[in-house]
Structure 1
């Protein structure tokens, strides 16, 4: 591990040197690549430098204890020694986590798809609540939320909806929302007061760049139609909505949120690229099934990940057996405690797998 850390420290210093060269600023692609690499290495290098300083402090304290005769100075040296040893243990753990392989999609924007499952209108109402939960969480992170398409059920629920979240690190945190979400409550439409269980599915897909997916436009068929639903005066009077069919896979995407047909086409293509990229990633995950089993679930939309129980005011994440009694604030977008716990569990699983190997 320390050989690798020394190599990363050397590379970091090389990057800092290259960024000082006058011709680098004129080469936008090279400058961006170096800045990204520097940003990725900075937390590792800072932790490693602190680790080396603590090791030096331990050596200096031991020398002082050996040579110093003054009792007060010896006490100070002991205190410094104990503090440095404790910090070294903390930094070793931090460095192991920082050196874990990073998900290449973590810095990407995401496309979110929410679909009502079992439960009819109640599932659709819950789908709209989960949309608002994710949207509020995204806004708290200063990420941009942009609707792509939405099919409403007439009473405020969503049969399905898809939207884009744009912002640094959006996928790194939102990927943990992918899966089946279950709600247990008495529906407003239920006169008998019985608790119903309904489900919805959430798919979180990283936005795919053109370089990520080889998309042949000859495989794409576009149809235009008149948009329906809310969207301003002109949305229902022009053929601005777009239906994109990808012939080889049979994937169909409808987009009608924008008033411009061109913008709707662009959004539909973004969704298609994300879906094709997800299919490719799924193939790789199947090939690395053993690695996937060692991680906290972050992708299988058939996996029941969380239950929202209204009578008891609790939310339970089944992947890490975490229960929190703050249903209202979680549905209001307060997801950090759950996501932080999932990230910690994922890191622990990966560290355990690495130590086994």
Structure 2
């Protein structure tokens, strides 16, 4: 079987699955099971672009076959016209097959999930906290430009308008899929506002992007939780409210700790904290799977290693460099202002190329 025949066979499987999902979602027993319906609808939506492209490709192949047949059997001008049409369709077929192979790379089913983003100031004191605040603004502005919604979960403010830690959720189409490669250590090189002698300092902040977990993904035993309540406070210990509404949850088996004080309601803070905890536990499971894949084949951008320095923001040179894919842009202010699309897309395409290489290796 040729590569083209294998491609067509795989595409027919996709179209059959697409039609099968549509039929199943119309069945009464599925319509009455919201969880199953949501799962099937998510898969149906995920493969729809490929199924539609496959159907167009089948039509193109039929047209090409007919054009070749006419060119072989006809005479004169009709044969010339058919030959010309066949040549055009053949060029379209080659271009379409390249794109279809890319679309056939399995999508991570988590890509459509909301993204839980955690930013923490690293080395660099107040300057690191200011940089963490810059990253928070960058992501929230990028989210707004992408038509996504953001929900603040927890924030621990630092001096001079910086943040020691901030946790928020981004909801929208492919939020996690597009932001997932932002995880890692981000480094900034600039003259701090507090520096009187104009010396360039290097500071860092850590970004973690987690897929938001659903209750069916991770089961948490209430007996494994230690829940503490305390009063919310702002910078300098100033009381934000006078009730014990802030919540800290410790997951005893893993030692994971999640705090939330953004809401005035203890119940809402507990609910938010549990969502983040569930996402962190899911992320641990995903990271373990990625580590196993990395041992089998060394990956470039998908390792999930949060201790790795992934990007440098160099203010004197107006330069941003992503070290994993050797991507550089001299639009630093624009990117920090939320124009992150070029960087995100470059990383996403690198991830696709990796998965294509892994599939053919």
**TM-score when scaled to structure 1?**
0.91
CA distance in 2, matches of 1:245, 1:20: 43
Cα distance change, pair 23–281 in 1 and its aligned pair in 2 (3 A): closer
Matches within 5 A, 1:90-129: 90-129=95-134
State the distance in 2 between where 1:288 and 1:342 align: 19
Deviations 1:3-38 (A, max 9, x none): 232222223233334455577545544543443332
Equivalent residue for 2:231, pick from 226, 230, 242: 226
1:182-222 per-residue CA deviation (whole Å, 9 max, x = no partner) reads 11111111111111111111001111112211211111111
CA displacement at 1:240 relative to structure 2? 1.0
**Structure 2 alignment gaps of length 5 or more:** 1-6
- Please name the residue that 1:328 is paired with: 333
Query: 2:138·2:336 contact (CA, 8 Å) conserved in 1?
Result: yes
Q: Is 2:161 the partner of 1:130?
A: no
1:257 is matched with: 262
Give structure 1 stretches of 5+ with no counterpart.
none
Go from structure 1 to structure 2 and tell me whether the alpha carbon gap of 1:78 and 1:336 turns closer, same or farther (over 3 Å shift).
farther
8 A Cα contact 2:231 2:239, kept in partner: no
1:47 aligns with 2:59: no
Partner deviation per Cα, 1:254-289 (whole Å, 9 max, x = no partner): 111001110000011111111111222222223323
2:283 to 272, 278, 283: 278
> 8 Å contact 2:233–2:241 — kept in the other structure?
yes
Q: CA deviation at 1:104?
A: 2.2
Query: Offset at 1:85?
Result: 1.6
Aligned length: 353
- CA 148–36 in structure 1, closer or farther in 2 if over 3 Å, else same: closer
Residue among 12, 15, 25 paired with 1:6: 12
Mapped to 2, the partners of 1:220 and 1:28 lie a distance apart of 29
TM-score (norm 2): 0.90
Residues 204 and 299 in structure 1, CA contact (< 8 A), matched pair in contact too: no
Checking the alignment, whether the CA contact within 8 Å between 1:285 and 1:292 is kept in structure 2 is no
Q: 1:180 to 1:276 in 2, by over 3 A?
A: same
CA gap of 1:79–1:310, structure 2 versus 1, over 3 A, is farther
* Partner residue in 2 for 1:315: 320
Q: Is the 8 A contact 2:147 2:172 kept in 1?
A: yes
Please report the RMSD computed on the Cα atoms of aligned residues, expressed in angstroms.
Answer: 2.2
Partner SS, residue 244 of structure 2: coil
Q: Structure 2 matches for 1:98-247, cutoff 5 A?
A: 98-229=103-234, 235-247=240-252
